[in-house]
């Protein structure tokens, strides 16, 4: 029921409290409608993706695990304080201190002077001075900090990995007669599936036929596609950039996908934001200064208590805890808004960006365009031509291709496989053969300029009379234009408002780029209010434009949904894909947003800006609190125990505040 309610657009947020068996619902509709929705939701009839159930269960288990750890840690501390003899407490402290001292020795053996050395020194000096209370407090607060940081880190990674899990609904199953489109849940080990250009490989398997270039960036981090041919292993979640593969499935559940993503997120340093990396480096660089300050105070005052007051305070703990927690919390909050962010660095870049480039089809316009009409230029009927077009287009999912397939389905036009092997030409169209005749479907540029098709004599005026308000697909047979399919490309209602808000949020260069005609592009650009637009552009031209903007010193965000947007998404500082777009666009993109509302881009900008403001506020807070504590220690107004306690408490406080919602 939780998953079903969360999936409903009328429900903003749904949360379960297992300990009390309570369900909290934050709704966008009226109270009466929300209650009606709750009453009619039958958990037994709702089909929920397996990965969603796994993700929810994992989140609950993670919460139980870490709340239990915190409760046990606090209970153990106070039990020892009130019920355990002092001699045993001291022995326990010595054993616990050994862990920190050993870690510090390992760090020193590598020639490094980092935070672990500072912590161990503070604990050791306190034990030598028989100040067991201070030593115990320092270790207790360090342990609590480790638990909270680990919890936040794992929770954010779990949310992110769950949102990135595979969600492939149907696949082409190879049979003795012809490929058949079936549900992915029906695929079993040793079945053979066919995956074409621009599609995601849904299962781990071995290539049994074909050759393709496969993008494995999400699993290996390598940006260059890898050649795959017969006998080579392929992995779930990778995407075919060019070619076609027949794959014998070895693991149908795709369960390993989750583990692969988690490993990738945990191990890939490039996903860290610059502020996280700077905070870590700055934290370690500050350690020698803390030691120097401690020694200087002792030399000037010959007062060990004042010197220890400085030693007990360092800026590095708070820096190392607060910055990563802030970034991970921002990623988790983005996920709650339907925004999947693959690393903190992309949020940081989103906050700094001043240029944003939109693709048109499926981005500024709706992802579900519709076929308005089919204009025939041969002796075949419009329905027959639509049937042929659907037969070709169903192999390469894209918003316009989907509209053709959907239109044929609505007219009950059965389009069995009647063609030979289908070849997809990126950003241009589809090529195949039917009954020995070459059949092409695609853009004007592809059909007439690249492939040299001609308009049948006497039909030129019919072609010119087609309204420029529609996007067009051209179908040719044996070098002659056979049909023009007119596509209605409805503008997203929220697009003009989104562009206006983005300008208010600091974007001073908003551009639209499309492969569509100039007339159609101009019409959309005027309605939306972009600063500039470019029509009839190729994928490499989009990428080139973005590289030129970056060379001028601009930070560029690119938003698209198709195979042809992939080069531009890769070239941009931040690539944003629409969730129902082509698989390769989603995999290459740094951020994915829900398809139902472009306002997610505004939310992303606000969230990333708020994250950077919080990071700046954390820096100032850490400087103020710890600087004040050092001043109190040197003046003799605060004892080492007090400065250590306030320092660690403030560090945890800043860390906890960093987990609060940003917007």
* pLDDT tens-digit readout, 22-64: 777 877 777 777 777 777 665 554 444 454 455 556 667 777 8
Closest by CA to 135, choosing from 95, 104, 108, is 95
Q: If you compute the radius of gyration of the chain from its CA atoms, what whole number of angstroms results?
A: 30
How far, in Å, CA of 398 to CA of 393, rounded?
A: 9
- State the pLDDT confidence band at 269, using cuts at 50, 70 and 90: very low
CATH number of 170-253: 2.70.150.10
- Predicted confidence at residue 288, as pLDDT, reads 82
Residue range 186-218, pLDDT digits in tens: 888 889 999 887 778 888 889 999 888 887 765
**Bridge partners of 511?**
357, 532
Please tell me the CATH superfamily of domain 339-366+491-593, with its number: HAD superfamily/HAD-like (3.40.50.1000)
Provide the pLDDT for residue 481: 94
b/e map of 635-644 (b: 16 or more CB within 10 Å)?
Answer: eeebbbbbbb
How many C-beta atoms surround the C-beta of residue 211 within 10 A? Answer: 14
Q: What are phi and psi of 516, to 5 degrees?
A: -75, 175
Q: And the tokens for 575?
A: 């690539």
User: What average pLDDT does the structure give for the chain?
Assistant: 80
At the fourth CATH level, which superfamily is domain 370-488?
A: Calcium-transporting ATPase, cytoplasmic domain N (3.40.1110.10)
Tell me: the pLDDT tens digits for 162-175? 555 555 667 888 88
Percent over 70 (pLDDT), the chain = 79
**DSSP per position, 120-160:** HHHHHHHHHTT-HHHHHHHHHHHHHHHHHHHHHHHHHHHHH
Strand 532-534 versus strand 509-513 pairing type = parallel
Q: Is the pLDDT of residue 270 over 50?
A: no
> What's the rounded Cα separation, in Å, for the pair 576 and 566?
10
Whether the CB-CB separation of 520 and 489 falls below 8 Å is answered with yes
What pLDDT shows up at residue 513? Answer: 92
The strand pairing partners of 17, in sequence order, are 22
Task: Name beta bridge partners: 200.
Answer: 239
Phi, psi of 466 (to 5 degrees): -70, 130
**Dihedrals φ, ψ of 574, to 5°?**
-135, 120
376 pLDDT band, cuts 50/70/90, is very high
Q: Kindly report which listed range (265-279, 280-294, 346-360) carries the lowest average pLDDT score.
A: 265-279
Q: Residue 258: its pLDDT value, please? A: 46
pLDDT per position as a tens digit, 83-117: 999 899 999 999 999 999 999 999 899 888 877 88
- Residue 483 has a pLDDT of 94
Q: Which two tokens stand for residue 231?
A: 């006998």
CB–CB of 647/629 below 8 Å?
A: yes
At residue 132 the predicted structure's pLDDT band, cuts being 50, 70 and 90, is confident
Is the pLDDT score of 603 beyond 50? yes
pTM of the predicted model over 0.85: no
Domain boundaries, the chain: 1-43, 170-253, 339-366+491-593, 370-488
Beta strands in 222-272 (DSSP E): 226-228, 233-234, 239-251
CA distance 579 to 164: 10
């Amino acid at each position: 029921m939780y998953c079903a309610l969360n999936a409903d657009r009328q429900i903003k947020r749904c949360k379960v409290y297992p300990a009390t068996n309570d369900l909290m619902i934050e709704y966008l509709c009226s109270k009466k409608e929300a209650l009606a929705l709750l009453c009619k939701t039958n958990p037994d009839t709702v089909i929920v993706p397996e990965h969603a159930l796994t993700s929810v269960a994992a989140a609950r288990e993670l919460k139980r695990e870490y709340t239990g750890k915190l409760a046990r840690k606090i209970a153990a501390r106070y039990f020892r304080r009130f019920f355990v003899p002092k001699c045993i407490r001291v022995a326990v402290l010595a054993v616990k201190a050994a862990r920190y001292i050993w870690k510090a020795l390992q760090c020193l053996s590598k020639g490094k002077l980092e935070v672990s050395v500072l912590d161990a020194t503070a604990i050791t000096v306190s034990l030598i001075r028989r100040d067991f209370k201070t030593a115990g407090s320092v270790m207790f607060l360090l342990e609590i900090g480790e638990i909270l940081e680990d919890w936040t880190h794992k929770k954010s990674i779990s949310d992110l990995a769950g949102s990135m899990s595979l969600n492939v609904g149907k696949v082409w199953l190879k049979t003795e007669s012809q490929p058949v489109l079936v549900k992915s849940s029906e695929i079993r080990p040793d079945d053979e599936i066919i995956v074409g250009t621009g599609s995601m490989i849904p299962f781990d398997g071995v290539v049994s036929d074909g050759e393709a270039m496969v993008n494995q960036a999400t699993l290996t981090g390598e940006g260059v596609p890898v050649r795959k041919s017969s006998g080579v292993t392929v992995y779930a979640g990778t995407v075919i950039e060019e070619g076609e593969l027949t794959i014998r499935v070895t693991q149908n559940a795709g369960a390993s996908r989750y583990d692969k993503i988690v490993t990738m997120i945990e191990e890939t340093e490039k996903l860290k934001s610059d502020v996280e990396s700077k905070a870590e480096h700055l934290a370690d660089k500050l350690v020698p200064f803390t030691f120097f300050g401690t020694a200087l105070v002792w030399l000037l005052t010959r007062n060990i208590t004042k010197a220890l007051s400085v030693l007990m305070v360092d800026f590095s703990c708070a820096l190392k805890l607060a910055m990563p927690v802030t970034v991970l919390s921002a990623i988790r909050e983005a996920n709650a808004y339907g925004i999947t962010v693959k690393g903190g660095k992309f949020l940081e870049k989103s906050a700094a960006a001043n240029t944003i480039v939109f693709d048109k089809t499926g981005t500024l316009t709706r992802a579900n365009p519709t076929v308005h009409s089919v204009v025939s230029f041969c002796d075949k009927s419009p329905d027959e031509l639509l049937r042929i077009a659907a037969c070709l287009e169903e192999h390469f999912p894209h918003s316009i291709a989907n509209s053709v397939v959907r239109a044929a389905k609505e007219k009950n036009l059965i389009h069995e496989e009647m063609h030979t092997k289908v070849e997809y030409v990126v950003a241009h169209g589809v090529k195949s053969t039917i009954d020995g005749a070459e059949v092409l479907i695609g853009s004007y540029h592809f059909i007439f300029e690249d492939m040299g098709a001609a308009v049948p004599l006497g039909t030129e005026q019919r072609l010119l009379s087609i309204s420029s308000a529609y996007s067009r697909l051209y179908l040719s047979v044996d070098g002659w234009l056979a049909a023009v399919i007119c596509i209605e490309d409805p503008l997203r209602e929220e697009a003009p408002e989104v562009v206006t808000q983005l300008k208010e949020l600091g974007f001073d260069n908003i551009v639209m780029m499309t492969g569509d005609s100039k007339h159609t592009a101009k019409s959309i650009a005027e309605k939306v209010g972009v600063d500039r637009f470019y029509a009839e552009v190729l994928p490499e031209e989009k990428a080139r434009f973005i590289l030129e903007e970056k060379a001028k010193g601009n930070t560029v965000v690119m938003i698209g949904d198709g195979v042809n947007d992939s080069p531009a998404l890769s070239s941009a500082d931040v690539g944003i894909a629409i969730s129902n777009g082509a698989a390769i666009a989603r995999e290459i993109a740094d951020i994915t947003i829900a398809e139902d509302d472009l306002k997610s881009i505004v939310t992303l900008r606000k969230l990333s800006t708020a994250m950077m403001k919080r990071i700046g506020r954390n820096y100032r807070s850490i400087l103020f609190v710890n600087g004040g504590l050092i001043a109190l220690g040197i003046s003799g107004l605060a004892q080492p125990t007090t400065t250590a306690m306030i320092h660690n408490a403030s560090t945890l406080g800043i860390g906890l505040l960093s987990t609060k919602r940003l917007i």
